[in-house]
Structure 1
Amino acid sequence: MHCIGLMSGTSVDGIDAALVEITGTELDLKINLLSGEIYSYPKELRSQIIEVCGGKPISVEEFARLDDSVAYCFAQAAKIIQESHPQVKLIGSHGQTVFHRPLKESNKKTELGYSIQLGRGSVIANLTGIPTVSNFRAADIAVGGQGAPLVSKVDAYLLGHTTRHRCVQNIGGIGNVTYLPPHQQPHWEQKIRGWDTGPGNILIDLAVQKLTNGQQTYDNNGEWASQGTPCEPLVRKWLKQEFFQQPPPKSTGRELFGYVYLEQCWQDAQTCHLTNEDWLATITELTAASIADSYHQFINKPIDEILLCGGGSRNQYLAKRLQQHLLNSRIMTTNDLGISTDFKESIAFSVLAYWRFFYRISGNLPQVTGGKQPMLLGDIHLPIDWKKNSLSSKYLG
């Protein structure tokens, strides 16, 4: 089955599109990446998305136009990537997150989470003529979950091992991890854990933009940070922040780790007399230390291998710092196991759509998201002229 997975992460770098051939279902799940491309947003649209993520107020009409503009870009990405490839049967689109508020619980009440992803699936379906599954987070949130991370079940079947303890660490704008116990353990699936670890690339990218007045957007391979020395007292202070101490399930986003947070880090550093290189090294160290610290706090198992993916997996300095914190674990990338580091997340959403549309397989893991039960993830959207007899009606439930 040929499917397309689409997503754009917290960094708003562009649309990651993966065209994959999928066979099997769970333990026999197999993925063949036929094509993977990153499609940049138009500059003005990217700026508008980032402004909305930052809390800029806009009218409902402007929001609707933005939603449609993002959907159009996602549809164009899907149309371009399938050129010269076999007919695609399904699209799974995560969309562009612009707001994420995790579940809040207090003695008085429970406030369900709320998450908004732009890029309407109905628009994508009708512009491409391909059934589309979108709005993946809503079903998990409706049963008391965080709505994230959602890729842990896919990680389990694509990247688990018979005897090794593994962590799959995505480093996008925000970092998230899936802990995978060995398959030979009894009830191994129930022992899978996952959560957002905190900032991934987002603070590093914002710091580079601040230091260069917007002339640079990221630290290539961590070369700039590698010239500095991290300020350990600052990192220890930042790690006392409430999110890092909160036990899973937990998720986060730009709402916490964004411009305001970075400015506070900048103010904290003013009394330490750091060079620009030192400050960037310290910001990078926060990502590495927060990942390692979360493993120590919440896994309490020897981790044999850590599989990095996402844009941050290319930051060699960050990988070296992470290795220093986790000396007994082997740092690898998902490339080493045949799953693209750049497109693992978009591949995962093609699988979640495939499970939802063709097999009615639940996509969330309650012990990861905090949802009260397994749920079918995603809303199904059919093109207006889609022939009902092209697939069995059982897929439409």
Structure 2
Amino acid sequence: MANLLGIVLFALGICLTVALHEAGHMFTARAFGMRVRRFFIGFGPTLWSVRKNKTEYGVAALPLGGFCDIAGMSSQDEFITEEERPYLMYKKPWWQRVIVLSGGVAVNLILGFLILFVVAQTSGLANPNADVRPVVDEVTCSADQLDNGELAECSGTGPGGEAGIEPGDRILNFNGEPVETFQQLREEVLVRPGETVDIEVERGNSVLEFPVTLDTVERLVDGEMVEAGSIGLVQRPLDIIEKHSFVGAIPATWNYSMYMLNATVHGIAEFPSKIPGVVASIFGAERDVEGPMSVVGASRVGGELVEANLWAAFFTMLASLNYFLALFNLIPLPPFDGGHIAVVLYEKIRDFFRKIRGKSPAGPADYTKLMPITYVIAAALMSVAAVIIVADFVNPIKLLG
């Protein structure tokens, strides 16, 4: 029941995110005296609509986004009526058009920040600058794992302690390879039962190297007992989640937002390279947990988080969605908001150089020349979205196993 609740709540959160994005366009357009014809959530056939103050509000059948139809977004608008002519968007000053086109992006950035601001005060935010280097908290013996998953009793200091590693040592290298996290160390040790390895540590201002002969223990892997390596080192707990006061939450949220926005930029850049993996997952390949998800997949993950009572993670993911929607829409290609902004800036720069040459402004850009690009990108987006949705049904991402 909790899982279903989470799915529904996250789906509603997505709908609200899209609605507020489009509302950012609508309210700024009205503020500058532009006519908003339609404000819809979804695409395709209309499921419900109502007309108020010359604007049609509605919900369409395909919940894959939304749109705000402003009269005269370009001079090629074929549906302009005489009554709308005083309110056409393309006749407004360039800076007003840029603000309107950026309105949805601004709303998503603000909404993402506000969500994280509340999380910072209630549950705490991860500190992106926290020290996560692998530091030993204690040395312990190597124990076999029992069928019930618990560890058997053991004694001694274990291979690491016997070799001379002490609590407080920071692991630097494993067999000459840098170690960034304790999880990396565990994975390296696990596959080397009985082997002798070289561990380099930092102790105070000194760097020490120890040959360590790993123990061989029984570990439960995928329901089967297998031989695995053990070094007998316990990680120092990572204190990366920090709860903040109202005032302290402001810089903390800013820092974490910058971290998330940077990660989002890298994610968008890597997006095309992730698609082959999504296609392969439909036919049985392992799904990349860091790969793209659709509305379906994100809602399913939201259900997992609510079922596990991880509300902070639930809302953090919703904030991440807002940041993704903001930056994705800034791509300077049609039909994205960034593509329309690029056209307005092109007009301004073009007319600036025309003025230098003593020429009059050239007028609105011809959007029909961009239609082939728009159709290609729109078709590609719909195709990719369909593939990801299929993958989210056939082989969904599961963050919690």
Q: Same fold (TM over 0.5)?
A: no
Q: Kindly indicate which of the two structures has a greater share of residues assigned to helix.
A: 2
Larger radius of gyration: 2
TM-score bin (small chain): under 0.3
TM-score (norm 2): 0.24
